[in-house]
Amino acid sequence: MQTKVFIDGEHGTTGLQIRKRLAARDDLEILSIPLEDRHNEAARLERLNAADIAILCLPDKAAIDTVNSLAGNVKIRIIDSSTAHRIAPDWVYGFAELTKGQPERISSARFVANPGCYPTGALSIIRPLREAGIIGEDFPVSINAVSGYTGGGKKMIAQMEDPSCDEKITANYFIYGLNLKHKHVPEIRVHGKLSHSPIFLPSVGRFPQGMIVNIPIHNSLLQKTVTTDVLRSIFKAHYHDSKLVSVANEQETGNLARLDAELLANTDKLKIFVFGDDSDGIYNISAVLDNLGKGASGAAVQNLDLMIGKS
């Protein structure tokens, strides 16, 4: 029997990517609204209430309003790609590789909060270090990251690609979130099990898809002294069962002269790289992913598959 899926906001950047990934699936019935009818509220509500699983690709307020409007529908299950429910107690965080047992929690959940792209990269580094006892809850986490411009949605895509756009962006690279209050900080703090907010410095480059998230650490601040080999073994142990998250080995890392943010563009994978100088006890751990893949639409499809028992 086919699972009925409605992508609420299927014509936006994330929704289109999810729709593309599900196009060839014969185990799903996709309940769709034509582009010209996307503002038809009656059609939208009809499909929401007919769905087994709804994937919300909406702004935060619209996602909250939609969830509230479905309070009487005890059948529907929801994956929300907005930031609205990522630290809500009744929602399961949809980063399957976060910790042991997370895939099972997602598979049995009614409400799943799809992670953000930056938090996916950051938490892929922070959580293994926390669980291995390398960093404490009060560790001063600093996150430096760059994303492809598609992470800014249709508006930023137009600003980067359309020369006639009134608000076009001419910079090839820029930092934003300058007040250090980016909307992703709470979910990184909560799911990273940190007692203090991390310093998060996001940036955007003039490339469509891809991402690098960097977290530097220093032995003088750690709970346990590490080496590059120790760090690499921690990540390999954490992700040894994962099909989507891998860890670069010593040879691959050592042969790199540069790390490309577009390395995993157009995939749903994530890769961890450990760089360091053991003599000085200084390290940088990098996570590379596609901001629209493992950082958004790919994660939503992964969560959908877990919820319908397909891994």
Catalytic: 165?
no
Q: Which amino acid is at 76?
A: I
Beta-carbon contacts of residue 175 (< 8 Å; ≥ 6 apart):
201, 202, 203
Report H helices in the chain: 13-22, 41-50, 60-69, 102-107, 117-131, 153-161, 185-191, 228-238, 250-254, 298-307
Phi first, then psi, for residue 258 (nearest 5°) are: -155, 160
Residue 76 to residue 48: CA distance in whole angstroms? 8
Decide the pairing of beta strands 270-277 and 282-289: antiparallel
Residue 283 to residue 218: CA distance in whole angstroms? 6
For residue 125, give the 3-state DSSP assignment: helix
Residue 204 to residues 79, 151, 171, 186, Cα–Cα distance (Å): 26, 9, 9, 20
- Catalytic residue, from 117, 123, 135, 245: name it: 117
Contact between 258 and 304 (Cβ < 8 Å) = no
Point out the residues that are catalytic: 117
